[in-house]
Amino acid sequence: MNDNKGGIGCVGLFVVLLTVAFIVLKIVGMITWPWIWVLSPVWIYVLAIVAFIVLVVVLAAIFAAIEEIFS
């Protein structure tokens, strides 16, 4: 039985913790990365979700076209 109550999950938690760690390291001066790279775990995670959604939509369109051709 799955007791997931809608939390962010392991990957989401990892992204949040990594982002917070990068922000803290940037603020205390231990890293000199540009802010775009400090916040990269967030935008990479979002881009991966968007890419997955686009892939699903494209595959659905392809399968719908194939079904239309062969029916």
Neighbouring C-alpha atoms within 13 Å toward the C-beta of 70: 6
What are the distances in angstroms from CA 25 to CA 7, 16, 22, 56, 58? 27, 14, 5, 37, 40
Q: What's the CA gap between 46 and 28, in Å, rounded? A: 26
Domain chopping of the chain, boundaries: 9-70
Q: Give pLDDT tens digits for 15-29.
A: 999 999 999 999 999
* pLDDT over 90 at 2, yes or no: no
pLDDT digits (tens, 9 = 90+) for 30-51: 999 999 999 999 999 999 999 9
